[in-house]
């Protein structure tokens, strides 16, 4: 239990400091960063699978064409999510990006109701309604829909929904997703190099090392999360997940000086919604354990 909390907390803390990593690559185009992230993540996954001798799933894919189709969809979703996040950080929109991961749990609940026909309890509907009011406030205050947060929340929510029923584990799934994306990513990186517009070729040693680190930066938190998720209750995992966006928000406001005061009421509504959602989940968990024989 304690080890699981440590693993999951480490994963969310690493995701929380992602803005620092991507800010260090601000001189490189977001699409190129995405390409490097895909290619080097694939190599890291391949090395881990080779070390663990876990390749049987590749042979099983021949008999499961639906799994390949499933992961083609998840690979597109993860590419969209990664690109929007990288672009947002390098465009000075870290606070907007954090919004996506604050509202993601509530988006998951809404998807469960709309797509899986799950029956929501009254407290869950209340949480979704309060969060919607927060998004409405942010839209009114800025004069535009907070599209960065919504795209991140929806893409990650759909990704989680598809991965929930997928037949592969965390490492194998990431390996397959990056394998499907790698040909396009590698071709784009080669084209950049030949057109003399590559941040990797033209950049200094520090830039190259940071781009090479995109593989471990992507894979390590995911593996820590998978290890933690297997060891702790889902309710505990649900509470820990707010570490990431909270740290991102603090970095955006205190380290990068992004404006927040005018948006604070909208975020406050979303935090109230998350409190309602989390407390209700804890209460339901306690009741279930009390009723168990």
Provide the domain limits for residue 150.
Answer: 2-291
Total number of domains in the chain: 1
Residues of the chain below pLDDT 70: 1, 234-235, 238, 288, 292-293
- pLDDT for position 57: 83
* Alpha-carbon span 218 to 14, nearest angstrom: 10
- Alpha-helical regions (H) of the chain: 2-16, 18-23, 30-52, 56-60, 65-90, 94-115, 122-142, 147-164, 170-194, 199-202, 205-212, 214-229, 234-240, 243-250, 264-291
């Amino acid at each position: 239990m304690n080890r699981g909390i440590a693993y999951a907390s480490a994963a969310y803390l690493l995701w929380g400091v992602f803005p620092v990593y991507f800010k260090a690559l601000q001189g490189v185009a977001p699409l190129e960063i995405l390409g490097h992230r895909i290619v080097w993540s694939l190599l890291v996954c391949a090395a881990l699978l080779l070390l663990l001798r876990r390749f049987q799933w590749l042979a099983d894919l021949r008999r499961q064409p639906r799994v390949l189709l499933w992961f083609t969809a998840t690979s597109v979703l993860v590419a969209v999510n990664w690109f929007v996040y990288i672009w947002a950080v390098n465009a000075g929109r870290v606070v907007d990006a954090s919004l996506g991961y604050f509202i993601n749990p509530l988006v998951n609940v809404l998807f469960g109701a709309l797509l899986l026909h799950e029956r929501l309890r009254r407290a869950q509907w209340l949480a979704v309604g309060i969060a919607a009011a927060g998004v409405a406030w942010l839209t009114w205050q800025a004069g535009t829909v907070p599209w960065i947060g919504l795209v991140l929340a929806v893409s990650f929510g759909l990704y989680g929904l598809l991965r929930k029923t997928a037949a592969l584990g965390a490492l194998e799934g990431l390996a397959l997703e990056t394998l499907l994306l790698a040909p396009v990513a590698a071709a784009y990186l080669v084209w950049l190099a030949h057109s003399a517009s590559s941040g990797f070729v033209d950049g200094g040693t520090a830039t190259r090392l940071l781009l090479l680190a995109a593989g471990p930066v992507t894979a390590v938190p995911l593996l820590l999360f998978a290890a933690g998720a297997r060891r702790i209750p889902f309710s505990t995992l649900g509470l820990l997940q707010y570490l990431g966006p909270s740290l991102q928000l603090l970095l955006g406001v205190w380290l990068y000086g992004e404006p927040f005061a005018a948006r604070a009421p909208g975020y406050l509504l979303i935090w109230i919604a998350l409190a309602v959602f989390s407390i209700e989940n804890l209460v339901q968990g306690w009741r279930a354990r009390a009723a168990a024989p």
